Amino acid sequence: MKLINENPWQYLSVKLPTLGAFFMLVLIPLLQWALDFQLIPKEHEGIIIGIVIPLLGLIGKKIYQPELHTPQLNGVNSLLATPQNSNDLAWMVEAKKHIGLREIVGKQHNKTILGWIKGLGGWFTDDETPWCGTFVAHCLKTAGVKYPKHWYRALDYVNYGSKLAKPAYGCVAIKTRKGGGHVCFVVGRDQKTKKLVCLGGNQGNAVSYALYSDSDFQEFRWYGKTSRPAESRYKLAPLDGVSATKVSES
């Protein structure tokens, strides 16, 4: 790998330290020889060494050659300096960060979930209250996307966003359940069952993936910064490894 395309000997920052090292190797024996033959008075030995050696070091530090100190990285090394763009949706990136996060049974409560509730302006202070809507709203808010006024009510998600005729990656899926509703993000489609793979909060009391039939959902809504998802978002990726077909949503 070549970082410097030119001859480095043209730069003083290379020449001076090298020549300085060479002179030190030669100078000390030479001074000793001159002293032995009384060519230089002995009292001048310390003066010469005390001036010449520090002077070489000082010159080497003062002369800066940017071509050597900031080499241009090419090829594979350019990956270290170039930010890598991701095609993923910002709210999905946030959602995936919290996979496995669980509510705490009992008097204690998960501080992360409580932080989401507080950040959204909620009044309740526990993680037993169904928090699927809280999770979705937090992810949308983090991405700078508008979310429902009553974000804590899953069924209020049908009143905002754009209604889709079919599911798309990153859209919000809304379903009814006994005693209320449930919301989650569509991620892909299971290879074996062809069910939708959805990522949501409060699925089995955790942020997790779950399988649902398309018919389980009342509506699919797009909450992006555009009125409709890109056409490529409708091509749901085939996924496997998700075994939960029924999860607790309350």
**What ranges do the domains of the chain cover?**
8-81, 90-239
Tell me the pLDDT band of 58, cut-offs 50, 70 and 90. Answer: low
The β-bridge relationship of strands 162-164 and 180-190 is unpaired
- Chain-centroid distance of CA 214 in Å reads 32
Nearest 10 degrees: Cα torsion 92, 93, 99, 104: -90
Fold of 90-239: endopeptidase fold (from Nostoc punctiforme) (3.90.1720)
pLDDT digits (tens, 9 = 90+) for 77-126: 333 333 444 789 999 999 999 999 999 988 999 999 999 999 999 999 99
**Residue 220: predicted pLDDT:** 98
User: What is d(CA 5, CA 52) in angstroms, rounded to the nearest whole number?
Assistant: 33
Whole-Å CA distances, 80 to 75, 76, 161? 10, 8, 39
DSSP line for 194-228: -PEEEEESSSSSBSEEEEE-GGG-SEEEE-SSSSS
Contact of 246 with 195, CB cutoff 8 Å = no
- What is residue 47's predicted lDDT score, i.e. its pLDDT? 67
Alpha-carbon Rg for the chain, nearest whole angstrom, is 34
Q: What is the pLDDT of residues 115-173, one digit of tens each?
A: 999 999 999 999 999 999 999 999 999 999 999 999 999 999 999 999 999 999 999 99
Residues 146 and 160 sit within 8 Å (Cβ to Cβ)? yes
Give the pTM: 0.65
State residue 2's pLDDT score: 39
Close Cβ partners of 213 (under 8 Å, ≥ 6 residues apart): 195, 196
